[in-house]
Amino acid sequence: MNWQGAIAGGMMMMAPWSSFAQQPLPAINIVGDAIPQALTSTPGDALRGRAIVANRQQGLCLLCHTGPIPEERFQGNLAPDLSGAGSRWSEGQLRLRIADAQRLNPASIMPAYYRTGGLVRVGANWQGKPVLDAQQIEDVVAFLLTLK
């Protein structure tokens, strides 16, 4: 199934936008509960991914999740603990959960980090722009895969 996406709610107001956001998102092939193919030809970098997860203005992951990032206080408890994520899900499963968790659970409160269509309450300045670009998604996936 091919799709393109958008971002919803207040999450978009905190994302750093760059020139990539003006380009249409490439088609993504979803197979079952995963996106098996990487979104970029450059492998994800776990250190950059960790920085995105820990950053309260970029990924905002710790707003809802807790994880093995001890220097960050006040971690969330609304979503699964990120500890062990690399053992619970495959690379492709993590990629889909980050890109668009609502594909798996339409009632999910997890924002679509790499979708630009079909969402509501998207400010005019942010329409057509994902929260994270493809490389950032791959970086977060690389980090989560280290959490065994």
pLDDT at res. 118: 82
- Over residues 85-142, the pLDDT tens digits come to 999 999 999 999 999 999 999 999 998 999 988 877 777 877 888 999 999 999 999 9
What is the model's pTM? 0.81
Exposure string for 121-148, b = 16+ CB within 10 A, e = fewer: ebeeebebbbbbbbbbbbbbbbbbbebe
Q: ∠ CA 27-32-34 to the nearest 5 degrees?
A: 60
pLDDT at res. 128: 85
pLDDT at 55 over 90: yes
Q: Where do the domains of the chain lie?
A: 9-15+41-123+131-146
pLDDT at 1 over 80: no
Question: Looking at the domain 9-15+41-123+131-146, which fold is it?
Answer: Cytochrome Bc1 Complex; Chain D, domain 2 (1.10.760)
